[in-house]
Structure 1
Amino acid sequence: MTLRRTAFAIPGDLNTVTGGYIYERLLLETLRTLGHDVQHIQLGASFPNPSQADMDHAVRALTDLTPDRPLILDGLVYGSIATHGLAQVRAPIVAMIHHPLALETGLDQMQRDHLFRTERDNLGLAQHVLVPSPHTADILASEYDVPRNRITIAPPGTVRPDATRQPIDPPMILSVGIQHARKGHDVLLRALAELDHLRWTATVVGSAYDPDHSTHLKTLVRHLGLTDHVTFTGQIPQNTLDQLYRQATVFALATRYEGYGIVFNDALAWGLPIVSCRTGAVGQTVPDDAGILVPPDDPARFATALETVLSDTVRRTSMTNAALRHGQDLPSWTDTARIASGVLNTLHV
């Protein structure tokens, strides 16, 4: 079978270390491995709050595509590009929506309403939509008027570890997520402040994506007296992150919302018990027997869940074994790319 050539338009640096960028970079690379001719189109980094220059460049770049090269368009752009500009694109469009932009943390009502209307209108121009989770599919169908038969779920793949865990002492709590309000690191810090009667350290990995929030987190660490217990590493190489997964006892992310959460797959693959929040797609991503999920924005209950994993050896061992089992069943990136490839090859061009 001849595999359809395509274009994949992504804003900014493809090597940015966030779940969405990791997903799209590995999907692009694996589509090429499968045999697709994939043209990478780098759009301006200011999306989803585009400058006029980046908006104009995006419209020009996308309208230059010929109708025989379908376009996969990243969600940061898809939900914020001008609808009249997107309507000029001649290529069949596949929207890649990790989660609707209007659900981002920290937006005022005017921003939220604008993004909702723009994304809903733009989704009407998509021939198909790729999403990472049933949760996102449900939202697009129920709130954004996308027909179910135009949505395909392509769960993210997982790179399986080539080593076994060797937890260090005192136990390390590992959290992986950019320093942004949505990731709930402030909630995690307040929870950790309630665990001063236990032995532990905590390591938070992720770039200072939102500089103001990063400053707030540093201030909070000092205010809560956690300086000797909590380390923010910033962005680190994959081999260094793998070593932290290997050394950790529990994975913790006090997120306020996730459209999927690739880091949960990584934690499962390493056999780490998970403490997180029942919000967005987390409940569909983290198996009940491998994690403890609490309501978002509840430091006290998050602290109780962490204490359970750290103090109850029997429960922790059971969760570890469950995580390892579920981790073995996770899809590979080849599985993910084959789903996307099937969508590309059924588009009307």
Structure 2
Amino acid sequence: MHFVLPADAGDPASPSGGNVYDLRVSADLNRLPVAGDWPRPRDTAALEQTLAGIPDGDVVLLDGLVSCGVPEVVVPHARRLRLAVLVHLPLADETGLDPGTAALLDAKERQVLRAASAVIATSPTAARTIKKNHGLDTVHVVVPGTDPAPLALGTDGVRQLLCVASITPRKGHDVLVRALRKIDHDFRLDCVGPHRPFLRELPRDDRVRFPGPLVGEALTSAYAKADLFVLASRNETYGMVVTEALAHGLPVIASAVPDALGDGGLLFEPGDEDALSAALQRWFQDQDFRAALRAKALTRRAELSTWDESTEDLRRVLASLRP
């Protein structure tokens, strides 16, 4: 079985939940990385060549970022290959797209998903949305796994905040910083993630730092030193960083991550700056509220699935496509 995925999936300078997911579930698959400015590549020759080189009848898993924007390349191969498409985020759901571009990407994605033998989403919520938007009968769900992690030691239990996310409009750093600027309290927020042009548009606060992407021990250390994890995303299909935080027993205040968070923290409406500010103010002022969030995190921590379970779930879907 083959897995066609973005060429930067293994690049430590470009960490993302999608890339981590791809690498963790595909250890036993034949990985076929393709370079390109996905999902709207200027040149599709690399993808066309990769698909053309796969023997007739083989099972092929396609990352949706690579495949969903180019039906003219993918759909013809659906007649000879057993294609499964893994959708991390529907293309039209990316924040900042103009209506025309979003509609075009949505239409392209629909062609690809309807031609595929199987469609896989990374959360139940995403699967329901994809089924409804594209008129599909079945969308399989394979949620991300989580590595076991030691409990975070934190600082004083209050002041050290952590956000792990690429600095893009969809991740809502502008909402987060504006909400925090309303709070008169001694805190430090580290926004860990790759810098993007959107960083220049964010409001400034001396209590907020942007150290860039962290991986390995550096990222583990950031979780270990945190007292609270915050995420103000406008849209997520799952939210792996939330389960990573919960694996460390960190209290969580977040938006757009109902499946990852479960009952493990406080979920607020995406873009609701006032609700986020009120929740954070309560975090700093209310000891009982902090204790309740910690208890919720520890309960959810015990429920998290493993990467072995995720890998096995994916294998079952792909095995069902074999003749």
Give the TM-score band, short-chain normalised.
Answer: over 0.9
Kept after mapping to 1: 8 A contact 2:169/2:198 = yes
- Measured after TM superposition, the shift of residue 84 of structure 1 is 5.1
- Measured after TM superposition, the shift of residue 86 of structure 1 is 3.0
| Correspondence 1:189-204 to 2 at 5 A | 189-196=177-184, 198-204=185-191
The one of 185, 197, 200 equivalent to 2:173 is: 185
Alignment partners' CA distance in 2, 1:189 and 1:215:
13
The one of 252, 262, 265 equivalent to 1:287 is: 262
| CA deviation vs aligned residue, 1:174-199 (integer Å, no higher than 9, x gap) | 00100110000011110110112x22
The one of 6, 14, 33 equivalent to 2:9 is: 14
Kept after mapping to 1: 8 A contact 2:36/2:42 = no
Alignment partners' CA distance in 2, 1:7 and 1:92:
10
| CA deviation vs aligned residue, 1:112-140 (integer Å, no higher than 9, x gap) | 01101000011111111111111111011
Q: Secondary structure at the match of 2:191?
A: strand
Q: Secondary structure at the match of 1:14?
A: helix
Deviating runs (4+, > 4 A) in structure 1? none
> Do structure 1's residue 139 and structure 2's residue 139 form an aligned pair?
no
Kept after mapping to 1: 8 A contact 2:69/2:108 = yes
Residue 28 of structure 1 aligns with which residue?
Answer: 26
Residue 146 of structure 2 aligns with which residue?
Answer: 158
Residue 94 of structure 1 aligns with which residue?
Answer: 84
Alignment partners' CA distance in 2, 1:249 and 1:311:
14
Paired letter, 1:22: V
Kept after mapping to 2: 8 A contact 1:273/1:319 = yes
| Correspondence 1:97-112 to 2 at 5 A | 97-112=87-102
Tell me how many residue pairs correspond in the alignment. 318
RMSD: 1.5
The one of 195, 216, 237 equivalent to 2:201 is: 216
Q: Secondary structure at the match of 1:105?
A: coil
Q: Secondary structure at the match of 2:9?
A: coil
> Do structure 1's residue 308 and structure 2's residue 286 form an aligned pair?
no
| Correspondence 1:225-264 to 2 at 5 A | 226-227=205-206, 229-264=207-242
TM-score (norm 2): 0.94
Residue 49 of structure 2 aligns with which residue?
Answer: 60
- What is the aligned-residue identity percentage? 28
Residue 342 of structure 1 aligns with which residue?
Answer: 316
Kept after mapping to 2: 8 A contact 1:173/1:249 = yes
> Do structure 1's residue 42 and structure 2's residue 33 form an aligned pair?
yes
Kept after mapping to 2: 8 A contact 1:83/1:121 = no
- Measured after TM superposition, the shift of residue 88 of structure 1 is 2.7
Q: Secondary structure at the match of 2:250?
A: coil
Q: Which runs of 5+ in 2 are unaligned?
A: none
Kept after mapping to 2: 8 A contact 1:172/1:202 = yes
| CA deviation vs aligned residue, 1:258-313 (integer Å, no higher than 9, x gap) | 00000110111111111112x3xx1232133x322222222222111112222221
Kept after mapping to 1: 8 A contact 2:191/2:209 = yes
Q: Secondary structure at the match of 1:57?
A: helix
Alignment partners' CA distance in 2, 1:314 and 1:8:
48
The one of 251, 254, 259 equivalent to 1:273 is: 251
> Do structure 1's residue 205 and structure 2's residue 192 form an aligned pair?
yes
Q: Which runs of 5+ in 1 are unaligned?
A: 1-5, 33-37
Residue 3 of structure 1 aligns with which residue?
Answer: none
Q: Give the stretch that moved more between structures: 163-172 or 187-196.
A: 163-172
Q: Give the stretch that moved more between structures: 258-267 or 40-49.
A: 40-49
Q: Give the stretch that moved more between structures: 265-274 or 179-188.
A: 265-274
Alignment partners' CA distance in 1, 2:259 and 2:210:
28
Paired letter, 1:86: V
Residue 155 of structure 2 aligns with which residue?
Answer: 168
Q: Give the stretch that moved more between structures: 77-86 or 330-339.
A: 77-86
